[in-house]
Amino acid sequence: MSEIKDYIDLKIDEIKLRSTQGLSDAMGRLATGLLLVGLLIIVLGLLAVVLIHWLGELTGSLAIASSIVCGVFLVVFLVVYSQRKRLFRDTFVQLFINIFFDDDKE
């Protein structure tokens, strides 16, 4: 009877270790992703300012240049929004399946 209890305790410890490893992998990827998204936002903001000034010189109006850049970002947003399931949900589901149920790491 003692061997069964020891076996169950070992299985519980294994589950805890796998969960801890999976969560730490997920949190590391989340932190990296957030950092990269933050940097991407800064780069896109600076790029938008540069494009507005450049188009402002070409068109002679910062208002028109701002509208053009806003329109470009709106089109990109609509494309990403229309593809959100394929881009985000399916990707994250596969990521978590790989993290929590990948037995190849043993």
Mean pLDDT, residues 26-53 taken together: 93
Count up the domains in the chain and report the number. Answer: 1
Alpha carbon of residue 96 to chain centroid: 12
Give, in order, the Cα–Cα distances in Å from 72 to each of 34, 47, 56: 24, 12, 15
**Residue 42 covered by a domain:** yes
Rounded CA gap, 24 and 77, in Å? Answer: 31
| pLDDT, the chain, mean | 87
**Residue 75 covered by a domain:** yes
Residue 103 has pLDDT above 60, yes or no: no
pLDDT digits (tens, 9 = 90+) for 47-91: 999 999 999 999 999 999 999 999 999 999 999 899 888 777 777
* Structural domain boundaries enclosing 95: 2-100
Contact between 95 and 29 under an 8 Å Cβ cutoff? The reply is yes
Residue 96 has pLDDT above 80, yes or no: no
Q: What is the pTM of this model?
A: 0.62
